[in-house]
């Protein structure tokens, strides 16, 4: 959300923006992300490359973390200059829901990074057909054993899984009380659990065509469960999740259209961040989106319009000025 009536402070910043040729001092900028080797670390490298296009002597150093919730706290407290977060994590922080003990803010947006990581309920096809499962809503009346694997406990994809199931009156405890199981695993571990036949369904926010899903499909026949429209609307309202339709043929084995919702990720800074730092980062991203696009095939669709599309919380006023000056 770009505030309409916020002033950009600092005469030097204003002059630089109007001139269109800002001059930056060299900086060592820290970026809190997620696990090493994942997409967020690649995005960190892309942001670093974009920054070097503008200020060759500056670097963006990626720091691993436990994820977006931790990054909100680290950025708000000045422990990291930048952070990658899911939009839903910022909304949870603002409301003071678990893992936060009170409403937590202090961060502002620089850019949306992606909004196309759908929650995919990857299910063994024979299990789904045998039990009449086409939608997660069907689990509400299902009485058999159901073995589910979700992402690590306490991070957004596992929260989204739990909340969307709860909307159908299905709980993790209820699954286990019914003789089934709920396992918490990172993507690699979850994929292995599914490949080994130790779970019936894996749900995670991951890109269509994920290698982890393709690996499961080499061992088992698969299908996807859809999500009812009312739950998609609820997730959009409460967690900033975008409605997503996975088309027929998105996987060789997918023979019907799947409605679900996706997780979106953004780059944030502290509300009190150095204006020159925010100007450097925002200028780099919006002038050199090709550096973000180049980090992974899943990021090819990144552009300035996407970067400027956050509506759930405010952009930093300097970032908002850069975006406006760039015509987005």
Of 283, 240, 255, nearest to 24 (Cα)? 283
> Given this model, what pLDDT does residue 15 score?
34
- Whether residue 268 is predicted with pLDDT greater than 90 in this model: the reply is yes
Whole-number Å distance between alpha carbons of 220 and 214: 10
Domains, the chain, with CATH or none: 11-115+264-325 (3.40.190.10), 117-262 (3.40.190.10)
> Given this model, what pLDDT does residue 37 score?
80
> Given this model, what pLDDT does residue 25 score?
59
> Given this model, what pLDDT does residue 9 score?
35
Q: Round to the nearest angstrom and report the end-to-end CA distance of the chain.
A: 12
Q: What is the mean pLDDT of residues 167-179?
A: 96
| Contact of 82 with 268, CB cutoff 8 Å | yes
Q: What is the mean pLDDT of residues 274-279?
A: 96
Q: Give whole-number Cα distances, 287 to 47, 169, 180, 302, in Å.
A: 11, 47, 51, 12
Could you tell me which residues are beta bridge partners of residue 205?
A: 119
Could you tell me which residues are beta bridge partners of residue 112?
A: 266
**With pLDDT > 70 as the criterion, what percentage of the chain qualifies?**
92
Q: What is the mean pLDDT of residues 295-306?
A: 95
- Whether residue 175 is predicted with pLDDT greater than 70 in this model: the reply is yes
Q: What is the mean pLDDT of residues 275-298?
A: 97
Residue 42's pLDDT band (cuts 50, 70, 90):
very high
Is there a cis peptide before residue 99, judged by omega within 30 degrees of 0? yes
Q: What is the mean pLDDT of residues 196-224?
A: 96
The 3-class SS string of 137-151 reads HHHHCCCCCCEEEEC
Residues 6+ apart with CB under 8 A from 160: 88, 119, 205, 235, 239, 241, 261, 263
Whole-number Å distance between alpha carbons of 42 and 24: 24
pLDDT digits (tens, 9 = 90+) for 101-155: 999 999 999 999 999 999 999 999 999 999 999 999 999 999 899 999 999 988 9
- Whether residue 12 is predicted with pLDDT greater than 50 in this model: the reply is no
């Amino acid at each position: 959300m770009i505030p309409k009536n916020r002033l950009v402070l600092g005469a030097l910043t204003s002059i630089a923006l109007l001139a269109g040729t800002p001059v930056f001092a060299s900086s060592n900028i820290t970026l809190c992300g997620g696990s090493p080797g994942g997409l967020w670390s690649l995005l960190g490298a892309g942001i670093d490359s974009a920054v070097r296009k503008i200020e060759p002597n500056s670097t963006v150093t990626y720091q691993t973390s436990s994820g977006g919730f931790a990054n909100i706290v680290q950025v708000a407290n000045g422990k990291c200059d930048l952070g990658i977060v899911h939009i839903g994590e910022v909304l949870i922080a603002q409301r003071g829901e678990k893992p936060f003990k009170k409403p937590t803010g202090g961060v502002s947006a620089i850019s949306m990074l992606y909004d196309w990581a759908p929650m995919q309920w990857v299910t063994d096809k024979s299990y789904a057909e045998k039990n009449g499962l086409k939608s997660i809503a069907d689990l509400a009346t299902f009485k058999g054993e159901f073995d589910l694997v979700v992402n690590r406990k306490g991070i957004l994809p596992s929260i989204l899984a739990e909340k969307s199931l709860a909307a159908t009156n299905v709980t993790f405890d209820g699954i286990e009380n019914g003789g089934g199981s709920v396992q918490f695993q990172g993507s690699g571990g979850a994929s292995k659990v599914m490949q080994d036949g130790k779970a019936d369904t894996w749900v995670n926010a991951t890109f269509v065509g994920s290698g982890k899903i393709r690996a499961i499909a080499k061992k088992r026949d698969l299908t996807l469960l859809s999500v009812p429209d009312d739950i998609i609307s609820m997730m959009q309202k409460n967690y900033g999740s975008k409605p997503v339709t996975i088309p027929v043929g998105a996987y060789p084995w997918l023979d019907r259209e799947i409605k679900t919702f996706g997780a979106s990720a953004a780059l944030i800074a502290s509300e009190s961040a150095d204006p020159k730092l925010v100007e450097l980062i925002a200028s780099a991203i919006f002038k050199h989106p090709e550096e973000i696009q180049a980090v992974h095939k899943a990021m090819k669709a990144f552009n300035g319009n996407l970067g400027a599309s956050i509506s759930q919380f405010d952009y930093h006023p300097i970032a908002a000025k850069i975006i406006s000056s760039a015509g987005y």
